[in-house]
Amino acid sequence: MNESRRKVLEMLAQGKVNADQAERLIAALEKDDAVNSSSVATEVRPTTKFKYLRVLVDGVEEGGPVKVNVRVPLQLLRAGVKLASLIPTQAQDSVNEALRREGIGLDLAQIKPENLEELVDSLGELTVDVDVNDHTDTMKVRVFCE
Amino acid sequence: MVGVVAIRTQPAGRRWWIPLPLFLLWLVLLPLAAVWLPAVVIVSLVLEAKPWRVLTISWQLLAGLRDLRVQLAQRDVDVHLMFF
């Protein structure tokens, strides 16, 4: 029983409202609850399971039209990122050092399989649109998941 | 699993299809498993990696190739790489 309904019953017990009024108040509260729950239901976004990462490049260069159309299964990306866990510790130190020199403070030893899963899963929300218009070249790049 | 490389040299030209029957890879690899499995284990141990993990990730990579599509087209050359 929620707080509002309890208050109505207390008002009824104290004689502040009669049974008829209490019933109408409770009915009004139930109607509000139904409206709230339906609005919450409509706000919940359907969870779409993405399967592929798409990279589309469409453009015109001096030599003619250029087209790149890549569809990478996310399953392959998952397996690919797991390869990072196979990097030997000596090599990891070298990679970490190289990253640090480039200003990226990333420690490969700290990357756990769960992090990689999250990384690949979050790719589903990725959408990149790049339009390049040069004097002679035009290029349109789209990266998204489907 | 089958991979296909398709190459077209002109927009209206002939297209070459080169099928890559990857499932036949197993026919080659399985009889030689007694040779390459210990080699994988030794290399994994030398590199301080878990052999079983190396094998599972390799398998996942191979299985993940399914449905991979790559198309590169420039001027008169059009190359498709597909895995089914």
| Report field, pTM of the whole predicted structure over 0.80 | no
pLDDT given at position B63: 87
What is the side-by-side order of every strand in the sheet holding A138-145?
A127-133, A138-145, A52-61, A64-73, B69-74, B77-83, B2-8, B15-21
Contact A58, A67 (CB under 8 A): yes
- Tokens representing A43? 């706000």
pLDDT given at position A56: 92
Do both A127 and A82 map to the same domain? yes
Do both A32 and A81 map to the same domain? no
Does the interface ipTM go beyond 0.95?
Answer: no
pLDDT tens-digit profile of B10-44?
766 777 888 878 778 778 888 888 888 899 899 88
Residue A87 makes CB contacts below 8 A (sequence gap 6+) with A95, A108
pLDDT tens-digit profile of B45-59?
888 788 898 889 888
Chain B residues whose CB is inside 8 A of the A65 CB are 73-75
Do both A80 and A138 map to the same domain? yes
Contact A52, A71 (CB under 8 A): yes
Cβ–Cβ gap A65/B73 under 8 Å: yes
What number of C-beta contacts closer than 8 Å exist between A and B?
A: 68
- Tokens representing A45? 């976004």
Average pLDDT over residues A52-77: 88
Cβ–Cβ gap A65/B75 under 8 Å: yes
How far apart CA A5 and CA A1 sit, in angstroms, is 7
Show the domain range for A22. Answer: 3-43
